[in-house]
Amino acid sequence: MKALLTLLLTSSLFAHEPVRARKAMVVAQEPIATDVGVDILKRGGNAYDAAVAVAFALAVTYPTAGNIGGGGFALIRTASGETNFIDFREKAPAGATRDMYLDKDGKPTRDSVSGWRAVGVPGTVRGLELMHKKYGKLKWADLVKPSVGLAKNGFELSYSVARGLKSAERQLGGFPESKRLYLNNGAFYDAGYRLRLPELARTLDRIAKRGPNEFYEGQTAKLLADGMAKNGGLVTLEDLKAYQAKERKPLMGKYHGHDIIASPPPSSGGIGMIQMMGVLDRLDYAKAGMGSAKLAHALAETMRRYYADRSQFLGDPDFVKVPVATLTSPAYVAQRAATITDRATPSSEIQHGPVPAEESTETTQISIVDKDGNALSLTYTLNGGYGSGVTAPGLGFLLNNEMDDFSVKPGSPNMYGAVGGQANAIAPGKRMLSSMTPTIVTKDGKLLLVIGAPGGTRIITGVMQAILNVIDFKLNIQDAIDAPRLHHQWQPDRLYLERGWSPDTAEILRKMGHTVETGAGGVSNVHGILVEDRWLQGAPDGRSNGKAAGY
């Protein structure tokens, strides 16, 4: 009881009512971009039009993760109930090789994290194009135009964006264009400064007027390929021309009378969500109550088992056989649940489950529901904050460092500490495994929840806990998102508790055998929309500077 009281009191310090609107709602991680989306909806655009406009706006106003030089996923549910998943994850260039980031002693270098060689073939523009062609209503140029104006005329830097740019000096400072544009040549920008990005404005203007092919075959593509060739990067004009976004079938799961519409591979999130919810259902975890050590223990043990599976079996389904059906089957889930006791199981004693071999942290989130009930959860990324740190000369946009999401050396951790296996090894043209987890929940055939998050490997656990808080603990969307979260990813063998968990709970968990770490850092930044009887509830994560708005 004391632990629960402490958690609730701490949570109340930052919990607040969600934003409510009658017709439509946009939630994004940066306020200016949210307003761009709401304006598109008011002008007659649908959720998918708004998502295109918000994504391009974020490429200007949220440089840490908003992008046209990265990639991501879009999970779609139309008002008629049609579901779709658009995969615009980056790909390894044709010149990539399995051991390209190992030194002469076989040890991983930093080339997969920083610089030109860290860049995968960008997919964002192709993904937005595919979504717009299939589901959009307004003209493409009208959706890109707001971002052109923001880049050309400038936008005022918020305190958080200005602080973020200054803190990224190490990542950005070694590249002349990045240092000039985003660090003011080392003098940095203060909050309130109107940042203008003329090179980016010209790039976006070409994409608006000439269409998405401009990025992959036009002047933009040629300038990008030229920069790569001059600086040791691997992405060529042929790589850009060959890139295509893909439609995939969403995964479907059930939890306590709700249907979970989840992300398929190369996302690792949907499999994780369905498997972990199945395990938790068998543990009857919610009876222990929010904030309790028993609840935290059940979550942690469930998480560590899934992440062991993730490291072994998940990768690009176009290259490896991913055992989706087995990993989410009732029999397999029951087997994993049966290994959980009232003591922590050391990760060194946990391996992946017995799946047959032949079945073998910076991101940003957009959640939108329009007046007709069309819904979208879109997560896209540069991978690490500001990606590779490289700004393409003459183009004004930052490039991803997504190659680090491959298993650079199977069995060794990446920048997020995640350990990967052979299924996620580097290969030309292959999509790297992702933790991005855009998710939609329905009940009795009606839309209930549109949700997703940035946050590296913590995305999956953060999104899942917010969903559980809505379904099991009946919280409104803002409270469900703002409640303290935890994270365990198998390796390293560490249970991380956000600020807000009771010290008593942490101590009980240590006595149960957990290695507990606490801190102020967040377990992802979840953004979501909850559909209630006559209202839409919108909630940006209280850990972020995001904004929910609607009409």
| List of residues 6+ apart from 349 with CB closer than 8 A | none
- How far apart CA 339 and CA 308 sit, in angstroms, is 13
Q: What is the rounded radius of gyration, in angstroms, for the C-alpha atoms of the chain? A: 22
State which H helix or E strand residue 516 sits in.
Answer: strand 516-519
Active-site residues, by number, are 363
- Asked whether the beta carbons of 416 and 361 are under 8 A apart, the reply is yes
- Asked whether the beta carbons of 360 and 313 are under 8 A apart, the reply is yes
- How far apart CA 180 and CA 465 sit, in angstroms, is 41
DSSP 371: T
- How far apart CA 550 and CA 50 sit, in angstroms, is 12
- How far apart CA 475 and CA 479 sit, in angstroms, is 6
| List of residues 6+ apart from 176 with CB closer than 8 A | none
- How far apart CA 154 and CA 209 sit, in angstroms, is 20
Residue 512 carries which side chain, given as an amino acid letter? M
DSSP 242: H
Specify the 3-state DSSP secondary structure of 550. strand
Take residue 279 and report the two structure tokens written for it.
């395990």
Q: Could you tell me the CA-to-CA distances from 300 to 180, 196, 485 in Å, in that order?
A: 44, 45, 11
Instruction: Say how many C-beta atoms besides its own lie within 10 A of residue 206's C-beta.
Output: 18
Q: Longest C-alpha distance within the chain, in Å?
A: 64
| List of residues 6+ apart from 444 with CB closer than 8 A | none
Take residue 70 and report the two structure tokens written for it.
């990265």
- Asked whether the beta carbons of 518 and 541 are under 8 A apart, the reply is no
- How far apart CA 434 and CA 270 sit, in angstroms, is 11
- How far apart CA 298 and CA 506 sit, in angstroms, is 14
